[in-house]
Amino acid sequence: MWKQIKSFAGYAFCKAHSASFALLSFQVAYLKAHYPAEFMAAVLSNQGGYYSAAVYISEAQRLGIKVLLPSVNKSVYEYAGSGKEIRIGLMAIKNLVKNVIDKIIMEREQRGSFSSLSDFLKRTQLTYEQTEILIKCGAMDCLGQTRPTLLRLIDLYFSHRKLILGNGSDLFENETVKLEKEIVTLRQFSADEMCVREYEAFGYMITKHPLEFFAQEIDAPGVVKASEMMKYHNRVVKMIGWYMTSKRIKTSKGEIMKFLSLEDLSGTFEAVIFPNAYQKYAELTISMGPYFVEGRVDALNGNNIIVENLSVLAAEKARSITYRVLKSAGLLNRWNKVKKSIKGNGFDQPTMPHQHWHANIKYVNFRGTFLFLISVIYGYSRYIVHHELRTNMQEYDVQITIQLLFREL
């Protein structure tokens, strides 16, 4: 048998191909081990790989690398890594085209760093929208003023273009300069607001990992971290993870199953959802999570957990908050009647996203913001009431919102 295997190995796989990949694997492993910041910056700049940029950013942070926001005074076009830091390149900012980025970099190289927002606008002549994007994502924090101040200033500068162009007199120049000083504020965006702006600009967050908004859940007793899975081989555990990527396949029997690649703050793991479990939880696996997974650990074949139960924490947390808000507003009984009415009309059956004829109650949580969306069908028409309830709203405002919502229903 072994002789047959040995002879088969001579032609089963191209040896030149194997040798090339072995060499490449060694080189990549060496670079990641000895030059992690430079390596991860190159991977991000290449925009390739199996995972999204968000996954590589999280991996860099787990390696102890500090990821810095882009800067109009320090960033180049691509990601730049050095020592224990990676500076996000201006290429990462959505809706900022290459010729605009080249203009910023060229102006900085020729005439030095930008000293203020007005200096930046005079030298680059960027539009309001382009400048606003740079401010919101933190690329202008290097100018020494808070983001709310900078946002006020662009409104001022673009309503008084002569201050930027410097090519004429302004009858109200003294008043404008006075106003320029008066609108300065020490208030900075909260961490939640920064995360929202970062996600809008880059497609990922730097200030916080999404799981950090679920600190109470991920630190709960009994929840196992990815880095601890080897200790729990063949034992049933509970884990929490954020979506990285997924792969859906057909088994030899033609049944559908899925592999969910997830991460927590300590490492990555694979949630293996066999056909029986996938039939129950398929519709839950189309979100980013975070996923609460219960199953048996298979540590011999990697960091795998064989899924037995699965839920999405965001939905559970939002349901809990919505319940408390409705109760405090004295509308819980009325809400239960609405739910019963919907259920009685057969509108509570699971549906695919492309089927718009159903009525459904959806709760979505992201970046500390809860979205309360109610869709109600009357005949062939659909009426949607859509309102955003932020966690920092006053209770009175929440009550008024709920009352208005039910008045419409």
Q: What integer pLDDT is reported at residue 17 of this predicted model?
A: 80
- Is 183 in the same domain as 245? no
Whole-number percent of the chain with pLDDT over 70: 70
Per-residue HEC secondary structure of 119-160 comes to HHHHHHCCCHHHHHHHHHCCCCHHHCCCHHHHHHHHHHHHHC
Is residue 181 predicted with pLDDT exceeding 50? Answer: yes
Task: Report the candidate in 378, 369, 373 with the shortest Cα–Cα distance to residue 361.
Answer: 373
Beta strands in 225-265 (DSSP E): 236-250, 256-263
- Is 13 in the same domain as 56? no
Q: Judge whether 318 lies within some domain.
A: no
Q: Write the single-letter amino acid at 366.
A: F
Domain end marker among 133, 167, 202: 202
- Is 302 in the same domain as 380? no
Is residue 381 predicted with pLDDT exceeding 50? Answer: no
Domain end marker among 312, 345, 376: 312
d(CA 247, CA 259): 5
What domain range is 268 assigned to?
A: 212-312
Domain count within the chain: 4
- Is 305 in the same domain as 357? no
Q: What is the DSSP string of 16-69?
A: HHHHHHHHHHHHHHHHHHH-HHHHHHHHHHHT-SSS-HHHHHHHHHHTTPEEEP
Whole-number percent of the chain with pLDDT over 90: 55
**Greatest mean pLDDT among 46-50, 159-163, 270-274, 400-404:** 270-274
Confidence band for 14, pLDDT divided at 50, 70 and 90:
confident
Q: What integer pLDDT is reported at residue 133 of this predicted model?
A: 95
pLDDT digits 0-9 by tens, 54-70: 999 999 999 999 999 99
State pTM to two decimals. Answer: 0.71
Sign of CA dihedral 261, 212, 315, 352: negative
Domain end marker among 244, 279, 312: 312
- Is 290 in the same domain as 401? no
d(CA 166, CA 159): 14
pLDDT digits 0-9 by tens, 142-164: 999 999 999 999 998 888 776 66
- Is 348 in the same domain as 296? no
- Is 49 in the same domain as 194? yes
Q: What integer pLDDT is reported at residue 329 of this predicted model?
A: 57
Q: What integer pLDDT is reported at residue 382 of this predicted model?
A: 26
Q: What is the mean pLDDT of the chain?
A: 78
